[in-house]
């Protein structure tokens, strides 16, 4: 029987997490719409967009991970009622994230001059180059939104970012229609039009959330600290120490999936297409896991600040239960409706047949993904983030990829074996994140008793 206290944690986690999930649904809808609209324009544009987006996905996840390092600090200060300090922390984090984003943008800017050496067909380069530059120009706005939403999400107002995302995504789809195809007085820009629409929507999202933070009453107590904080190198070093391990963790995870995609291409074109389709389908589960785990991380950080270890443990348990329940639902959906979902993305019979063979592995993958996301976010909420980078490097890159290669190529299980390397790495990460989370809990308890 579920106790009233635990039931309350379920309610509060869902109350925070559902708006985050709805915002992510909007992002996925946009991704699907982008793919369909560019694909209907012409195939070379779709190929060029796929290449550029795959390159920038790593940058986006590094930026998201770096901003996530702010969660424990904002949550702890919010739990202590230090409203001015919350605003000051976000302002300092904005500076740290700006420096990190500038470094990544510089690296990607240099990379632009080597696009012709990245193995892409010569005919695609005139499409790739302008699209690459426009997406590069949108990266500062990705960073700004990620940081500003830490203020709204960390203070339990997750609907603010949700509405910003939905409004921006609607604008993006409208912009695609006008600028890709040249509707009415607008020029027909093709892929470049899709890029400009993405840039404008990302600017719009930042303007929306900035206006909400400035104008809504609930944020007034935090603005005093935000606008009255001095530049402090020690604060920046602290933020970097909290943020960099989380960024590396998310970057390593993204790199592992990218490497597996490359190895799928070694097997064949059909296998590569099937792998891409099944990973796209898997984002339906991932979206909910990460949204709900982010809500759990906020609650863990809040109780960390209050030094209420009992409620912290209960909130983490509630988060685990919710994510497991979602994984069970996702498993049933993929088991009964997997072939239909796969058919939505491709009409190629060979690709569909190959992707359907991966469904048992996809179901197994759900529990690995849910639990590693759960305990990575629980650990992040405690601010004990130092182990996250080495755990990620060992689990994703030193176990996940080699196991996939071993099963796929040495044991000759082909794509099935390669795909099973992913849950092997994720389960390893889940176990290590859980171990360090329990260790952080024990350390906190000992500190409070001493």
The per-residue pLDDT for 450 is 60
pLDDT category of residue 336 using cuts at 50, 70 and 90: very high
Task: Judge whether residue 302 has pLDDT over 80.
Answer: yes
Task: Judge whether residue 1 has pLDDT over 60.
Answer: no
CB contact burial 329-350 (16+ within 10 A = b; e otherwise): ebbebbeeebeebbbebbebee
The per-residue pLDDT for 449 is 64
Q: In sequence order, what DSSP letters do the residues of 194-211 get, joined into one string?
A: HHHHHHHHHHHHHHHHHH
The per-residue pLDDT for 76 is 87
The per-residue pLDDT for 446 is 76
Cα Rg for the chain, rounded, in angstroms?
22
Provide the H-helix boundaries in 307-382: 309-345, 349-356, 359-381
* 281 token code pair: 């389908």
CA nearest to 193, candidates 127, 244, 242: 127
CA distances from 171 to 187, 243, 361 (A): 17, 31, 37
More confident residue, 118 or 183: 183
- Answer whether 75's CB lies under 8 Å from 301's CB: yes
Please provide residue 195's backbone torsions phi and psi, each rounded to the nearest 5 degrees.
-65, -45
Cβ atoms < 10 Å from Cβ of 220: 13
Task: Judge whether residue 177 has pLDDT over 80.
Answer: yes
Please provide residue 155's backbone torsions phi and psi, each rounded to the nearest 5 degrees.
-105, 20
The per-residue pLDDT for 122 is 86
Per residue in 28-55, pLDDT (tens digit) is 777 777 777 887 788 788 878 878 888 8
Q: In sequence order, what DSSP letters do the residues of 207-240 get, joined into one string?
A: HHHHHHHHHSGGGHHHHHHHHS----HHHHHHHH
The per-residue pLDDT for 22 is 86
CA distances from 370 to 12, 178, 288, 333, 437 (A): 19, 39, 9, 15, 16
Mean pLDDT score of the chain: 90
Task: Judge whether residue 325 has pLDDT over 70.
Answer: yes
Q: Quick one: what percent of the chain has pLDDT higher than 70?
A: 98
The per-residue pLDDT for 46 is 80
Give the span between the Cα atoms of 79 and 301, in whole angstroms: 8
- Answer whether 63's CB lies under 8 Å from 104's CB: yes
- Answer whether 29's CB lies under 8 Å from 284's CB: no
Average pLDDT over every residue of 82-97 = 92
The set of residues, in sequence order, having a beta carbon less than 8 Å from that of 253 and lying 6+ positions away, is 61, 392, 396
Per residue in 182-241, pLDDT (tens digit) is 998 999 999 999 999 999 999 999 999 999 999 999 999 999 889 988 877 888 888 899
Q: Where are the domains of the chain?
A: 16-231, 243-449
Angle between helices 269-306 and 309-345 (to 10 degrees): 160
Burial of residue 93, with CB atoms counted within 10 A of its CB: 0-12 exposed, 13-18 middle, 19 or more buried: buried
- Answer whether 331's CB lies under 8 Å from 366's CB: yes
The per-residue pLDDT for 205 is 95
Average pLDDT over every residue of 63-82 = 89
């Amino acid at each position: 029987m579920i106790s009233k206290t635990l039931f309350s944690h379920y309610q509060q986690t869902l109350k925070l997490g559902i708006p985050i999930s709805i915002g992510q649904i909007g992002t996925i809808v946009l991704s699907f719409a982008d793919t369909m609209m560019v694909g209907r324009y012409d195939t070379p544009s779709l190929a060029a967009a796929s290449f550029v987006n795959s390159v920038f996905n790593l940058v986006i996840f590094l930026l998201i991970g770096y901003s996530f390092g702010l969660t424990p600090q904002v949550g702890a200060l919010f739990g202590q009622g230090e409203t001015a300090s919350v605003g000051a922390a976000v302002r300092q984090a904005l500076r740290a994230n700006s420096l990190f984003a500038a470094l990544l943008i510089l690296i990607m800017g240099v990379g632009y001059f080597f696009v012709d050496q990245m193995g892409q067909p010569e005919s695609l380069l005139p499409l790739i180059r302008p699209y690459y530059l426009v997406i590069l120009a949108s990266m500062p706005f990705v960073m700004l939104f990620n940081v500003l939403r830490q203020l709204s999400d960390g203070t339990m107002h997750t609907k603010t970012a949700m509405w910003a995302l939905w409004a921006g995504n609607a604008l993006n789809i409208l912009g695609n229609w006008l600028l890709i195809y040249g509707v009415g007085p607008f020029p027909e820009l093709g892929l470049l039009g899709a890029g400009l629409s993405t840039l404008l929507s990302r600017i719009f999202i930042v303007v929306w959330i900035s206006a909400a933070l400035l104008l809504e009453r609930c944020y007034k107590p935090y603005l005093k600290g935000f606008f009255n904080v001095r530049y402090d190198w020690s604060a920046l070093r602290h933020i970097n120490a909290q943020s960099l391990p989380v960024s590396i963790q998310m970057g390593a995870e993204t790199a592992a999936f990218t490497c597996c995609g490359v190895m799928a291409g070694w097997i064949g074109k059909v296998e590569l297409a099937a792998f891409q389709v099944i990973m796209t389908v898997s984002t339906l589960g991932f979206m909910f896991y990460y949204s709900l785990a982010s809500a759990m991380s906020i609650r863990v950080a809040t109780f960390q600040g209050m030094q209420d270890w009992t409620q912290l443990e209960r909130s983490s348990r509630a988060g685990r239960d919710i994510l497991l329940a979602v994984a069970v639902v996702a498993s049933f959906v993929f088991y009964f409706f997997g072939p239909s979902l796969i058919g939505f993305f491709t009409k190629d019979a060979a690709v569909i047949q190959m992707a359907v063979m991966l469904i048992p592995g996809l179901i197994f993958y759900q529990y690995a993904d849910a639990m590693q996301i759960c305990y990575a976010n629980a650990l992040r909420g405690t601010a004990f983030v130092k182990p996250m980078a080495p755990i990620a490097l060992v689990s994703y890159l030193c176990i996940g990829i080699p196991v996939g290669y071993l099963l796929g190529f040495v044991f000759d299980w082909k794509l099935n074996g390669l795909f099973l390397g992913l849950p092997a790495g994720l389960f390893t990460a889940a176990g290590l994140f859980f171990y360090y989370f329990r260790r952080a809990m024990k350390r906190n308890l000992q500190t409070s008793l001493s």
